[in-house]
């Protein structure tokens, strides 16, 4: 059929074998206003998903939504490190948009500094946004996802969470924490058919890396920065697969090989 429910990509749910259309799916992308989250939102919208884009800056979230194909998407202002905001935002999403199929946790910050020079308030902000924020959004989304066949979560970690990096000890700890969290949550919810995976990017060209010198790519075997769209492709793979859970997918142009 060319209209309605069957338009879009048909997928099969891993547990039930039911066919599910991407068009019927609601995807929440935290950190969807810029960078990797914005690219993932675009790709998901192109696949026919309805998007709920979440970031602190409401204008930026609205602008990101306005740039998406389709007109059924919604923007939400929410700081993922604040439990009450997260709880209320996800309650509103469920009430106004329905059950969540996909959750992408791309909200993140960096505060690079040697540990001796790190400010305690920056350390707290890193852990609260990158690690606690992901835990809070997963918790807030899960109840809704229990009702959705083929539901899946992708958390965005980092290659430095796997390998470590001088000047990024706290950031790396926040991302390493996501690995244990993702694997454990995958075990907790597998019996309900929900999959949870971690994506670990290397140097990706976004606002976060705008201050880096071009010569950092000398350490990257592929010899260049990755583009947000290249990470988005991997996000889509993890969301749309049906038998991958509790895994870490590295998208880094080979950087990890050289670390
Ligand atoms: P950007 O800085 O381009 O975008 C970050 C996004 O997160 C924005 O939408 C921002 O919106 C949102 N955000 C930040 N803090 C919060 C918060 N407390 N609550 C809600 N939203 C928030 O970063 P990237 O796209 O580069 O990074 C995305 C993820 O990928 C991050 O977790 C990052 O650590 C990770 N990563 C990035 C790499 C890179 O090279 N770029 C490498 C490895 C990992 P707003 O400011 O309006 O809240």
pLDDT value, residue 12: 43
Is there an atom of ligand 1 within 6 Å of 148 CB?
Answer: no
Atom of ligand 1 nearest to the CA of 34: 9
Is there an atom of ligand 1 within 6 Å of 226 CB?
Answer: no
Q: Ligand 1 center to residue 150 CA distance, Å? A: 26
CB 81, CB 132: distance < 8 Å: yes
Q: Which residues contact 169 (CB under 8 A, 6 or more apart)?
A: 114, 115, 118
Residue from 103, 196, 202 nearest 144 by CA: 103
Q: Which helix (H) or strand (E) holds 229?
A: helix 228-240
Q: Which helix (H) or strand (E) holds 189?
A: helix 169-189
Q: Which of 171, 181, 203, 225 is catalytic?
A: 171
For the chain, which residues score pLDDT lower than 70? 1-23
Give the span between the Cα atoms of 230 and 195, in whole angstroms: 21
Neighbours of 106 (CB within 10 A): 30
pLDDT value, residue 22: 55
pTM of the predicted model, to two decimals?
0.93
pLDDT value, residue 23: 53
Q: Is 171 a catalytic residue?
A: yes
Strand 50-55 relative to strand 74-77, pairing = parallel
Q: Which helix (H) or strand (E) holds 54?
A: strand 50-55
**Six-digit token pair at 77?**
């202002």
What ipTM describes this predicted complex? 0.99
pLDDT single digits (tens) 81-138: 999 999 999 999 999 999 999 999 999 999 999 999 999 999 999 999 999 999 999 9
Angle formed at CA 228 by CA 222 and CA 231, multiple of 5 degrees: 70
């Amino acid at each position: 059929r060319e209209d309605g429910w069957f338009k879009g990509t048909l997928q099969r749910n891993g547990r039930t074998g039911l066919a599910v259309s991407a068009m019927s799916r609601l995807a929440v992308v935290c950190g969807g206003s810029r960078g990797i989250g914005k690219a993932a939102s675009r790709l998901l919208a192109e696949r026919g998903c309805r998007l709920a884009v979440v970031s602190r800056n409401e204008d930026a979230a609205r602008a990101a939504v306005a740039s998406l194909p389709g007109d059924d998407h919604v923007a939400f202002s929410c700081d993922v490190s604040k439990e009450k905001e997260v709880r209320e935002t996800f309650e509103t999403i469920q009430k106004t948009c329905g059950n969540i199929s996909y959750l992408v946790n791309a909200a993140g910050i960096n505060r690079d500094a040697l540990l001796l020079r790190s400010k305690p308030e920056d350390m707290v902000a890193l852990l609260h946004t990158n690690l606690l924020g992901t835990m809070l959004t997963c918790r807030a989304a899960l109840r809704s996802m229990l009702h959705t066949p083929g539901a899946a979560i992708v958390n965005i970690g980092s290659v430095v969470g796997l390998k470590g990096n001088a000047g990024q000890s706290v950031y790396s700890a926040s991302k390493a924490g996501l690995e244990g969290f993702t694997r454990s949550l995958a075990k907790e919810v597998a019996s309900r058919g929900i999959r949870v995976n971690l994506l670990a990017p290397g140097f990706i060209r976004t606002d976060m890396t705008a201050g880096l010198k071009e010569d950092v790519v000398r350490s990257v075997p592929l010899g260049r920065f990755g583009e947000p769209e290249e990470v988005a492709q991997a996000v889509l793979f993890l969301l749309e697969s049906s038998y991958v859970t509790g895994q870490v997918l590295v998208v880094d142009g080979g950087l990890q090989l050289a670390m």
